Structure 1
Amino acid sequence: MPPCKHTYTLPMVTRDALRALPKAHLHLHFTGSLTDATLRELAAEAGVRLPRGIVGGRPRDLTPDARGWFRFQHLYEAARHVVRGEDVMRRVVREAAALDRAEGSRWLEIQVDPTSYAPDVGGITPALEIVLDEARANSDEDFGVAVIVAASRTRHPLDARTLARLAAQYVGDDVGTVVGFGLSNDERAGHTEAFAPAFRIARRAGLASVPHGGELLGPAHIREVVEHLRPDRLGHGIRAVEDPVLLAEIIDGGIGFEVCPGSNVELGVYAEPDEVPLPMLFDRGAQIALGADDPLIFDSRLVDQYATAQDLGFSPHQLAELARSSVRISRMSAHRVSRVLADIDEWERAVRGTR
């Protein structure tokens, strides 16, 4: 696909200004939020030897095919293997919140599959409650953390129903609650329609439907996800641009996109950042939230995604619009939405005032 770029004549804003831009972060995975330093420390404490390439090693030779995804999962599982027990789980949430605050995030929806951490804390219910409790502890009026419970495509769809029922017990629209239900892992695994009952359970409880789709696979897969899982937001969804009719249907249906340029490039979906069709989505009127996905693996965090957008030609006003969009398609409460949107307006006025 040829590069899709904006051009503009206004000066670029500084990285500090990008960091100061109020925004919502809607696509961040639990273990994937770790820093290299924390992972090294946890591995040393647990006596675990990390595989080559998980920290500090580049390139990682990740590709969007089955072999590349296996490599990615191998690295991710190695990291997850050291996230054991309540104290470490709390640390993951605490550090993710601190890093997001430092990058101007005003709202974080962190995604977790409690199944992965249940063996060390007594089950999926304690695992989820630990994450929720720490989310509350690291929230205040200026910054909030909520949780998305995600099932895995590589497990039986009945497991997804169990997780949906669990998530429904903690539904809310503020800090320390479950706000959405997702489906992650390899898009090629499982049958999308088999997970529809789990998403019906979640929707009836008032949870946002936020499945992954449209990064590794193209429009045909996205149509399956839209038809069977009825998403409020698509995790990625970037390859909808390959089918203009589908893209129009998604946008007209009010479905948001969680776009993660850093992971798109690191996984080889696009060879270079300037090939990521973020401008095309924006120009078509899509509601977009930029996300870091798995900073541990992809070596880029939230501000890096906004820096990529600026490199793709987004003006300060368009960057502000991306931030507004992330807030509007989040599940933060109405009073938080109003406050953050007002602060984005103030940021834009301040940036324009420096010209």
Structure 2
Amino acid sequence: MRDLTRLPKAHLHLHFTGSMSVPTLREIAATRGVRVPPALLDGDPLRVPATQRGWFRFQRLYDAARACVRSEGDMRRIVDEAAAADAAEGSVRLELQVDPTSYAPFVGGITPAVEIVLDAARTASAAHGLEVAVVVAASRTRHPLDARTLARLAARYAGQGPGEVVGFGLSNDERSGDTQAFARAFRIARDAGLASVPHGGELLGPEHVDTVLTTLRPDRLGHGVRASEDPATLDDVVARGVALEVCPASNVGLGVYPDTAHVPLRTLVDAGAIVALGADDPLLFGTRLVAQYEAARSAHGFDDAALADLARSSIRASRASEGSKWRMLAGVDSWLAEPAPGDDEAPA
């Protein structure tokens, strides 16, 4: 079995605050004099039921971590450390998702907040040898007009390269808000050439996936695993060429599935879906990107060729330039062409 940290891959589902390591959160909180819940610092993966109460606990912890981020320096540190961690795991492309409204009060507004993240992404790309781009995300819990404001802001910085905005997302509890009410914001983003990357199909089932597909017209769907529960919905996902950002640790942590083996990864891949594995929120769920590939290997029986296909899917589903994709895909081919450990040993 080849070393998965050397497999070139794109990371398309990682949230800004949730990307922090426990030591970083502990240090930032101590510097700010902020007391954070012990559950954020104990290193144990979060496990909650897939209920409103379970989500409330998750969101309360996430908000407590986010409340510690109160300066430009904190924001730059988070981007740099996320890039360094991904590069160490073989990522060649990271599309980091951020809602700038959370940090705007500390840096002079949502525009400076976005510009800080973009500049940090350019710097981190050069420092760590991968491409770091940004997805600007709105929250379902805020008014759809706020989402339109963020979509227009994201459009100003649209591009493909490091330090540019490549997509527009919609996060938070998918049971909240009216999905259709956010359609105008996504039209603004699409008109600017941004990828449509809303969350959907994790806490709600195929019916909501259908709604997201028809109203927000996603290029990628954050999670989307529960499309597997209805063959017609899954066929529609495949026919539309919508990539699914599957985050096994998140699915288990939020109580959607009892363990990694029950995440329908094999079902999605066998149906022809484009799947890009993601870590979602390592701070809360306890694992980063390589662990998701390791889970595909150990819990779902993916061999190295199948794991290479997952990596290729992630790269193709990214918003990297065609030249960058060609280079990244060549790296996957090189990884698979290497002898696996033990291949050169003489038979007994």
1:291 corresponds to? 278
Name the TM-score, length of structure 1 as normaliser: 0.94
Q: Does the CA-based 8 Å contact 1:181-1:211 persist in structure 2?
A: yes
- SS of 2:160's equivalent in the other structure is coil
CA distance in 2, matches of 1:264, 1:347: 29
1:256 corresponds to? 243
Name the TM-score, length of structure 2 as normaliser: 0.96
1:135 corresponds to? 121
2:190 corresponds to? 203
The equivalences for 1:218-233 within 5 A come to 218-233=205-220
- SS of 1:310's equivalent in the other structure is helix
Identity of aligned residues (%): 62
1:300 corresponds to? 287
Please state how far the C-alpha of 1:138 moved relative to its aligned partner: 1.1
2:330 corresponds to? 342
**Number of matched pairs:** 341
Ranges of 4+ aligned residues in structure 1 off by more than 2 Å: 57-61, 351-355
Letter in 1 for 2:115: E
Select which of 16, 20, 41 maps to 1:55.
Answer: 41
| Change beyond 3 A, Cα 1:72–1:351 | farther
| Change beyond 3 A, Cα 1:326–1:298 | same
CA distance in 2, matches of 1:75, 1:351: 44
Please state how far the C-alpha of 1:63 moved relative to its aligned partner: 1.7
| Change beyond 3 A, Cα 1:267–1:84 | same
CA distance in 2, matches of 1:270, 1:42: 33
| Cα deviations by residue, 1:87-120 (Å, 9 ceiling, x for unpaired) | 0000000000000000000000000000000000
| Cα deviations by residue, 1:218-244 (Å, 9 ceiling, x for unpaired) | 001111111100000000000000000
1:316 corresponds to? 304
Answering whether residue 303 of structure 2 is matched by residue 330 of structure 1, we say: no
Answering whether residue 248 of structure 2 is matched by residue 265 of structure 1, we say: no
Letter in 2 for 1:24: A
Please state how far the C-alpha of 1:52 moved relative to its aligned partner: 2.6
The CA RMSD measured in Å over matched residues stands at: 1.2
Answering whether residue 64 of structure 2 is matched by residue 113 of structure 1, we say: no
- SS of 1:211's equivalent in the other structure is strand
CA distance in 2, matches of 1:343, 1:83: 36
Note the residue ranges of structure 1 that are not aligned, 5 or more in a row. Answer: 1-12
CA distance in 2, matches of 1:63, 1:119: 33
| Change beyond 3 A, Cα 1:354–1:74 | same
| Cα deviations by residue, 1:164-219 (Å, 9 ceiling, x for unpaired) | 00000000011100000000000010000000000000000000000000000000
Letter in 1 for 2:234: L
1:9 corresponds to? none
Q: Does the CA-based 8 Å contact 2:22-2:43 persist in structure 1?
A: no
- SS of 2:125's equivalent in the other structure is coil
Q: Does the CA-based 8 Å contact 1:316-1:351 persist in structure 2?
A: no
Note the residue ranges of structure 2 that are not aligned, 5 or more in a row. Answer: 344-348
Please state how far the C-alpha of 1:51 moved relative to its aligned partner: 1.0
